[in-house]
Amino acid sequence: MADQTPKKAPRKAIAKRLWLDAQGVECDEEKATQGGYDSLASKRGVRFTPVTTDPATRMYAIFGFQTLSGNEVNSAPDGTDGIDQAQARLDLLKSGQWVDRSGGGGGIRFDKDKLAEAIAQVTKRPIADVRPKLEWRVNAATGAQVPDDDKSAGTCLYGTRALKIPAVKAAYEKLVPQEKGEVPDVKSL
């Protein structure tokens, strides 16, 4: 009997990952000195030139930049191309910081139990009703649950969506104060 597993429709490309030479012309990975990530819809993009002469390090850096840019674009709010978000994340990295720990930047991490408590406070719903939803992926615009493996543009974690709501974010930050400023030196421990 033939395989009757339903086939997923191929995902539509939303961006192009570019390997560029010093003049900004597309080239093979081995010859690239910079990387690009361009939105196909808006024709806007972001560029990165790693500061290294080692070919392996340069290729890893460009690949990492393209992957992180894709993550930022895929988590951007509906109606935006995500390029500004990707550029902001690149600027943050260039400043020596991995993520913006003051709140909703890319790479957001959260304590699911504390976030459930914050959502329950704001919505006046029982935590037991809210907590299971923190395991969901959702349509970023509507909040409707989508399959766990749906990582297409316009989807995100339920918690990520919840933290974009100012009242929820404020309640969460009261429960889990966000670290600001300098991190103490390890020698002070």
- pLDDT tens digits along 46-86: 999 999 989 999 999 999 999 999 988 887 777 788 898 88
What is d(CA 47, CA 70) in angstroms, rounded to the nearest whole number? 13
Checking if the pLDDT of 106 tops 60, the result is no
The pLDDT confidence band at residue 94, using thresholds 50, 70 and 90, is confident
Q: In whole numbers, what is the pLDDT of the chain averaged over residues?
A: 83
What are the tens digits of pLDDT across the range 154-176?
778 888 888 888 899 889 888 88
> Who has greater pLDDT, 24 or 91?
24
pLDDT, position 147:
85
Which residue from 96, 76, 95 is spatially nearest to 86, judged by alpha carbons? 76
Q: Which two tokens stand for residue 50?
A: 């790693």
Question: What share of the chain in percent tops pLDDT 90?
Answer: 39
The pLDDT confidence band at residue 131, using thresholds 50, 70 and 90, is very high
Checking if the pLDDT of 99 tops 70, the result is no
pLDDT, position 93:
84
What is d(CA 82, CA 70) in angstroms, rounded to the nearest whole number? 9
DSSP tally for the chain: helices H, then strands E = 6, 6
Checking if the pLDDT of 5 tops 80, the result is no
Output the CA–CA distances (angstroms, integers) from residue 28 to 18, 19, 34, 67, 89, in the order listed: 9, 7, 11, 17, 26
Per-residue HEC secondary structure of 52-71 comes to CCCHHHHHHHHHHHHHHHHH
Q: Which two tokens stand for residue 153?
A: 């543009």
pLDDT, position 164:
84
115: which residues sit within 8 A by CB, 6+ positions away? 134, 159, 162, 163, 168, 172
Q: Would residue 171 be called left, alpha or beta, if left means φ above 0 and alpha means ψ between -120 and 50 degrees?
A: alpha
pLDDT, position 103:
40
Buried b (16+ CB within 10 A) or exposed e, 119-149: bbbbeeeeeeebbebbebbbbbeeeeebeee
